[in-house]
Chain A
Amino acid sequence: MSVPKIRIRGLHKAFGPKKVLTGLDLDVGARESVVIIGGSGTGKSVLLKCILGLLEPDAGSIQIDGEEVVGMSVGERERVNRKVGMLFQGAALFDSLTVWENTAFGLIQARGLAHQEAKTIALSKLSQVGLGPEVGELSPAELSGGMRKRVGLARAIATEPEIVFFDEPTTGLDPIMGDVINDLIVKCIRELGASGLSITHDMASARKIADRIAMLYEGKIIWAGPVPEIDRSNNPYIDQFIHGRAEGPIKMQVRA
């Protein structure tokens, strides 16, 4: 097997006394879409932020394209981040810019494209996610939740990244819009030929966009396998999660 796009070994991260990640291992292959599932507060977002360099892990190794990114300088990190795109949970669009400027942000800032050229690409990316050119002139505040997610997706794929991250892509959307976003994610990753790493607790979304599902529990990946196998994993943790039962081996901390 070739070098995986992302290779994580023994990742540890704690906030004060609270250990969030305790020796996490994960590989994401080229052109592979991996979805990490897990309950709220299990550290899915922390994992994503560690990979993106927004948080510094306490110990462990993260390699992107075989390049160690833990402890990398800010400038080096910017270079590596040019290979990635990220769709944030709340889309995280810049409210001071219009929709097309948001979409073109990476093209203009990181790639140094001229405004007119970037705008042409941005508008074609917006049409790829089903938004017409008239939407490009709006400000993010004028958009609905589903549209914001689409713009966020267009921005994430605008620079044609090799790896795209998705933070709870369907959270806060109605089931139909959620499915539309899922379809768009699958389509966009395919067209780009990129690797995908998503975190979600929405099983319908996970089944749709994943090639492989991994379950995060108590700071480790406790199970990982192709999508069809998840229903016959015979893993009590997986069964409890995918069927959404309150009773089982996973004890939710109801009180913090």
Chain B
Amino acid sequence: MPIITPIGRVVLSFLAAAGRLTLFALNGLQHCFRPPFFPRLIGHQMMEIGYYSLPVVGLTAIFTGMVLALQSYTGFSRFNAESAIATVVVLSVTRELGPVLAGLMVAGRIGAAMAAEIGTMRVTEQIDALTTLSTNPFKYLIAPRLIAGVLMLPCLVVVADIIGVFGGYLISVYKLGFNPSTYIKNTWDFLTVMDVVSGLVKAAVFGFLVALMGCYHGYHSQGGAQGVGQATTNAVVSASILILAFNYMITSMFFGS
């Protein structure tokens, strides 16, 4: 069976990797809820993920909001539906683009940094040193990052939502000549709590995924500088793909029926 053997091998190695990742995630989660906690480390990671990602997430959001307004105007003006622009901008940003783009930017910024830092600690035996000093690396390295990821990404997305909607407002009012108060009224009229909440739930999941991928690939990196480089790439690529896949699943969970 020359065809079945390689297929079986691929399936088995995929299942093994999925199992390893699941065990890693469960082990990490378990240490998020069990003392001792490391508030200083959690705070440090929250600064890294939340505060220092603000500029890049803000810029992404404002340009996305601007381009959304511009493009939907091109389409809607053909059948006199310009008033729908505000609705399109606010729903797209809060439901989809805010969390997804913030997640992807944070995956590039933070997932890569986590994989590189933990990977270097692995190859220079610093993780082994933690164990010999009676400190569980999951508690000291992984749990603070997971906690910070889950808490900070929703905060970033709140900011991204506001800035994204503001970007749409800027273009609509100053370039397309809309009445500011009508635009704001249109924005509020069709926005429901669920739109924002679904985006924040997504953000928390994405934050977990980014931190998990960064930690997982860093923790299992091997083979010196090249291995750390590989881990960094894997962390960003896998986090990005997982973000897009989970985005679809969460959307269909909230709005599918």
> Is A138 an interface position by the 8 A CB rule?
no
Return the CB mask of B133-165 against A: 1 if under 8 Å, else 0.
Answer: 111100010000000000000000000000000
- Which residues of A in the span 25-54 have a Cβ within 8 Å of any Cβ on B? 49, 52-54
B124 touches A90 (CB 8 A): yes
CB distance from A127 to the nearest CB of B (A): 21
> Is A84 an interface position by the 8 A CB rule?
yes
B131 touches A54 (CB 8 A): yes
How many A residues touch B, CB cutoff 8 Å?
26
CB distance from B150 to the nearest CB of A (A): 22
Complex partner residue of B134 from A78, A94, A165, CB under 8 angstroms: A78
Complex partner residue of B132 from A85, A90, A93, A94, CB under 8 angstroms: A85
> Is B26 an interface position by the 8 A CB rule?
no
Complex partner residue of B131 from A52, A89, A93, CB under 8 angstroms: A52
Return the CB mask of B32-75 against A: 1 if under 8 Å, else 0.
Answer: 00000000000000000000000000000000000000000000
Q: Please, which residues of chain B bring their CB within 8 A of the CB of A253?
A: none
- Which residues of B in the span 103-134 have a Cβ within 8 Å of any Cβ on A? 121, 124-126, 128-129, 131-134
Q: How far apart sit A155 and B128, CA to CA, in the bound complex (Å)? A: 14
> Is A113 an interface position by the 8 A CB rule?
no
- Which residues of A in the span 74-90 have a Cβ within 8 Å of any Cβ on B? 74, 78-79, 81-82, 84-86, 88-90
What is the chain A residue whose CB lies nearest that of B132? A86
Q: How far apart sit A105 and B41, CA to CA, in the bound complex (Å)? A: 14
> Is A144 an interface position by the 8 A CB rule?
no
- Given the known inter-chain contacts A90-B124, A92-B124, please indicate yes or no for A110 contacting B134, CB distance below 8 A: yes
Q: How far apart sit A79 and B125, CA to CA, in the bound complex (Å)? A: 21
B128 touches A88 (CB 8 A): yes
> Is A196 an interface position by the 8 A CB rule?
no
What is the chain A residue whose CB lies nearest that of B139? A109
What is the chain A residue whose CB lies nearest that of B138? A74
- Count A/B pairs, Cβ under 8 Å: 53
How many B residues touch A, CB cutoff 8 Å?
13
CB distance from A131 to the nearest CB of B (A): 18
A90 touches B136 (CB 8 A): no
CB distance from B43 to the nearest CB of A (A): 14
B125 touches A92 (CB 8 A): yes
Q: Please, which residues of chain A bring their CB within 8 A of the CB of B136?
A: 74, 78
> Is A219 an interface position by the 8 A CB rule?
no
Which of A53, A54, A92, A105 gathers the greatest number of chain B CB atoms within 10 Å?
A92
Return the CB mask of A192-221 against B: 1 if under 8 Å, else 0.
Answer: 000000000000000000000000000000
Q: Please, which residues of chain B bring their CB within 8 A of the CB of A86?
A: 129, 132
B128 touches A92 (CB 8 A): yes
B128 touches A54 (CB 8 A): yes
Q: How far apart sit A84 and B129, CA to CA, in the bound complex (Å)? A: 11
B129 touches A82 (CB 8 A): no
Write the residues of chain A forming the contact surface with B, with a CB cutoff of 8 angstroms: 49, 52-54, 74, 78-79, 81-82, 84-86, 88-90, 92-95, 105-106, 109-110, 155, 159, 165
29 contacts between A and B (CB under 8 A): A49-B128, A52-B128, A52-B131, A53-B131, A54-B128, A54-B131, A54-B132, A78-B135, A81-B131, A81-B133, A81-B134, A85-B132, A86-B129, A86-B132, A88-B125, A88-B128, A90-B124, A90-B125, A92-B124, A92-B126, A92-B128, A93-B129, A94-B129, A105-B133, A106-B133, A109-B133, A109-B140, A110-B134, A159-B133
Beyond the given A109-B134, A110-B133, please list 16 additional residue pairs across the A-B interface where CB-CB is below 8 A: A52-B128, A54-B132, A79-B134, A81-B131, A81-B132, A81-B133, A82-B134, A84-B132, A92-B125, A92-B128, A93-B126, A94-B129, A95-B126, A109-B133, A109-B140, A155-B133
Q: Give 3 nearest A-B pairs by CB, closest first.
A: A110-B134, A92-B125, A92-B129
